Structure 1
Amino acid sequence: MNGSIRRSRTLALAGTLAVLYPAGAIWARTAPPFAQLLREAREAPRITALDADVDQALGKAEQARARPNPSINLYGENFVGDLRRNARDQQQTTLQIDQPIELGGKRAARIAAGDAGVAVAQARGIEGRLAFAAELARAYAAAEIADRRIALAEDEVQEATDVLKVARALVAAGKEARLRQVQAEAELHTMESDLEVARAQRVGALARLAAMAGSPTPYTGLAESLIDRMNARPASGPVDPMQSAAVRLAQAEREAAARALTVQQRSATPDITAQLGVRQLRVANGPAVVAGVTVPLPVFDRNRGNIAAAQAELQGMEARAAAARLEAEAGTRAARALIAATDARGEAARRTLSTAEEAYRLARIAYEAGKAPLIELLSARHNLGAARSVILDADMARFDARTTLARLAGLSIAGEPVQ
C-alpha cells in the first residue's frame, strides 16, 4: 500500500513539473557560482531598467545644453489695396530672423541641473544594483536551504520507515498492539508528504532564482554552497554608514533639488528676442535693414509658484537626506548586533541538535528493547526534526544578516564591490 501511495505521489509531482516546464527545459542547467551568476545577471530586466534610467538622464543632460533655435519670418505689406490710390505701389516685403537670448544664467543653471540628474540616476543605479545583489543572494541561499530541507525530509522518511519496521516486528511478536503499527504508518505518511512539499518548494526556489537572474530556463541545482562560503569568510571590516549607497543617493537627490530650485529662480528673469531683417520696398531702388528687440514684461507671471514648489522639494530632500544618514547609522549597528545574535543562535541550535540526536538514539534503543513506548520514540524523533529545522532557520538568519551588512558596505555577499 505504501509503495502504491508513493508511486502515485511521484507521478503527481512529475505531472506538475511537466505542466510547469516544457519537455527538456527542467534539465536545462545548473546555477553557476554566485559571483558568476551575479555577473551574468547584468542583462537581467531589473538591471537593464536601471541602465535605461541612466541613459534617460544623460539624454536630458545633453538636451539641457541646447540653445534656443532662431526663427525666420517673412512679412508682406500692401500687396493688396486700392489701385486708384496707388496702395500697391507701396508694397513691402520683409525677411526677418528672430533669435531668443537667454538672460540670468538660465542655460548654465539648466546644465547644472541636468548633470545633477545624471548623478541621481547613477546613484540610484548603484543602490538598485546593491538591492538586486542582496535579493539574488537571498534567492540563491533560499534554493540551497530548500535542498537541505529535502535532505532533512529524506532522512526523516528513512527514520520513520525504520521505526515502522520495528513496530511491525514488535506487533508480529505480540509485544505491541496493532495501534502502534498504525501510528507508525501514519507518521511515515506524514513524513512522505513533507518530503514532497520540500521538493515542490525547491522547484519554486530555483524558478525564482532563474527569473531574478534573467535566465529563460529554470535551474535544476546549484554549483556551490553559498552559506558554507559565507561561513568560511572572515568577518567584514568596518562599515562607514555615511558612504552607503542609500546615503549617497539621498545626497544626490538633495543636490538635484537645489539645482532645480536655481533653474526656477533663473527662469523668473525675462528673456529677450533680437530681431534682424531685410525689407524690400517696391518704390525704392534697394533693400532696407530693420532691427529690433522684444522684451516681455513680467507683470502677471513671475514663476513664483514654481519657485515655491522647488523650495519645498529641496526642504523635503534635505529632510530625507538627514533621515537616510540616521537610518544608515542605525542599520549598521542593527546589522552588526543581528550578526552576533544569529551567530549565538546558530551555536545554541547546534548544541540542541546534538542533545536531540542523543535523545533519539537512546529512545530508539529503548523502544527496540521493549523498554519504552512508541509515543516516546515518536516524541524524540519530532524533537530531532524540529532541532534540524531550527539549524536551517538559524543558517538562513545568519546569511540574511550578513547580506544586509554587505549591502551597507557596498559589496555583494561574495565580497565583491557592486558598481
Structure 2
Amino acid sequence: MSSNRWPLRAALASATCGVLYGAAQAQTAPPLESLLRDASAPRLSVGEAETHAAEGRAHQARAWPNPVLDLQVENVGGDGPYRDFQSAETTLSLGQTLELGGKRGARVAAALAELDTARSRASQNRVTFARDLFVAYATAEAAGERLVLAKDGVELAQADARAARLLVDNGKEAELRVLQAQAAVSAAQAEQSRAEAEADAALARLSALIGGEQTYAAVTPGVLDRAWTVSAATAQPPAVAVAQAEQIATARKLDLERRRAAPDVTISFGIRRLAGDDATAAVAGVSLPLPLFDRNRGAVKAAQAEADAARARLLIAQADATADRRGAEGEARAAERSAAAAREGEAAAREAYRLAKLGYEAGKLPLLELLSTRRDLVAARQRHIETRLARAKACADLAQANGQIAFGGAQ
C-alpha cells in the first residue's frame, strides 16, 4: 500500500465516520452551533425553570395584603328580649393590614435580587453547557479520526505482512519475519476494535448530553481544525456573577428580616345595625400586635450569617476566576504549540515510513526497521489527534473562564 494515501486519509478522516460505522443512511450530527441553538437538554431546562419560578416569586412579592371582610351578629339566641333578632346588633366591617417599616419595598427588592441570581445561574449553566458540548463534539470527532487511523494501521500492517511473505518466498527473509508481521496485524486489529468501541461511546455521550433521543453515527467534521478565537474577557466570569448576585440577594434578605421586627397595623371600618333601636352607626378600629415575645431576632441572626457567607463566597469566586483564567490562557498557548509540533512530527514520521518501506522492498533494511517506523507513524498520527483535541478543550476552558460561549454563540 502506497504511503501517499496518508495525507488524503488525514483530510477525510472525520468526513468518513458514518461509513466506518457501517450505516450508509445513518444521521450525522448537526454542526456544533446548531446543536446549541436547538438543544433541549435537561441542563438548560433546569435553569429556565428556576428563572421562571423566581419571576413568579418577584411578581408575588409586589402583592398587597388582602383586606378582611368581617360580619358579626350579637345579642341573638339568648333569653328574654334577646330570644330572637329583635335586639340583634349586626356589624359589617372591612379591615386592612398596613405593612409598616418598609416591609413591602424590602420584600420586593429581595425577590428581584433572587431573580437576578436565578438569571445569573442560568447564564452560567448555558456557558458551562456550551463548553461541555464543545468538548463532547470534539471528542467524538477525535474518536472518529482514531478509528480511521486504526483501520489504516490494519491495512498497513497487512501490506507489510504481504511484503514480508514475498521476501520469504524469494528466500530473502527468514520465516520468522512473517510471524512477526502477522503479530503486528493482530495487534492492529485489536486496536481497531478498541477504537470502534471508543467512537461509539463518544457519540453516545454526545447524544446524552443534548438530551435527545436521536443517536448519531458521525459528527460534522472540522471542529478540531477550526481556528477558534477567544476574545478578551469583557464581562465577569459566570461564577463571579453568580456569587455577586447571591451576595446582593442575602443583603436584601437581611434588610427584609430586620424590617419584619416592626409590627403591622390593621385598621377597620364598618357599619353596625342596632335592631332594638332601629338605628345604624359607624364603627372603626385599629389593632397593633405587641412585639413582646417574637422580635424576629433569630431570623435576623440567620440572615446576617448567610450574608457573611455570601461575601466570603464572592471573594473565593473572584480569586478562583482569576486563577482559572490565567491557567486557561497558559494551557491554550501550550496546546497550540503542542499541536503545531505534533503536526510537524507526523509529517516527519510519514516520510520516514516511506523511506523505510522503499528500503525494505529493495532489501536494504530489515523488517524490524519497517515495523518500527510504521509504529512511529501511527504514534505520531495519534499524538497529532490528541494534541488537536487538547487544543480544542483548552480553547473551551478559556472561553468558559471568560464567561463566553465556547464557539462564539450568543449567551
* Superposition TM-score, scaled by structure 1 size: 0.86
Paired residue for 1:271?
264
**Following the alignment from structure 1 to structure 2, what is the Cα–Cα distance between the partners of residues 58 and 259?**
16
1:162 shift after superposition:
0.8
Aligned residues of 2:138 and 2:223 also touching (Cα < 8 A): yes
After superposition, the CA RMSD in angstroms is 2.4
Q: Deviations over 1:255-301 (max 9, x none)?
A: 11111111111111111111222222231112222221111111111
Question: 389-398 or 275-284: which moved more?
Answer: 275-284
Contact 2:30/2:219, CA 8 A, preserved across alignment: yes
Query: 1:203-352 alignment to 2 at 5 Å?
Result: 203-230=200-227, 233=228, 235-240=229-234, 243-352=236-345
1:108 aligns with 2:105: yes
What's the secondary structure of 1:226's corresponding residue?
Answer: coil
Aligned partner of 2:121 in structure 1 is 124
Unaligned runs of 5+ in 2: 1-20
In the alignment, the residues of structure 2 paired with residue 69 and residue 56 of structure 1 have an alpha-carbon distance, to the nearest angstrom, of 22
Instruction: Give the equivalent residue in structure 2 for 1:13.
Output: none
The counterpart of 1:56, out of the listed 23, 48, 53, is: 53
The reply to whether residue 68 of structure 1 matches residue 65 of structure 2 is yes
Q: Percent identity among equivalent residues?
A: 42
Alignment-mate amino acid for residue 310 of structure 2: M
Instruction: Provide the aligned length of Structure 1 versus Structure 2.
Output: 390
Contact 1:239 1:332 in 2 (8 A): no
Question: Partners in 2 of 1:120 and 1:280 — Cα distance?
Answer: 54
Structure 1 segments unaligned to the other structure (5+ residues): 1-16, 19-23
Between the aligned partners of 2:79 and 2:138, the Cα distance in structure 1 is: 92
Higher helix residue share: 1
- Inter-partner Cα distance in structure 1 for 2:272 and 2:303: 45
**In structure 2, what is the Cα distance between the partners aligned to 1:120 and 1:137?**
26
Alignment partner of 2:168: what SS?
helix
- Aligned partner of 2:188 in structure 1 is 191
Of 201-210 and 358-367, deviating more is: 358-367
Larger deviation: 132-141 or 244-253? 244-253
Shift of 1:333: 1.3
Pair 287,199 (structure 1): closer, same or farther in 2 beyond 3 Å: same
The aligned counterpart of 1:8 is none
1:371 positional shift: 4.6
CA distance in 1, matches of 2:119, 2:259: 26
Q: Which moved more, 1:269-278 or 1:206-215?
A: 206-215
CA distance in 1, matches of 2:176, 2:87: 122
For 2:347 and 2:67, the matched residues in 1 are separated by 84
Equivalent runs, 1:159-170 vs 2, <5 Å = 159-170=156-167
Residue-by-residue CA offset, 1:192-224 (whole Å, 9 max, x unaligned) = 222232223223322322332343311232334
Within 2, Cα distance between the matches of 1:356 and 1:35?
Answer: 35
User: How far apart are 1:330 and its partner, in Å?
Assistant: 1.6
Scaled by the length of structure 2, the TM-score of the pair is: 0.87
Provide the residue aligned with 2:33 in structure 1.
35
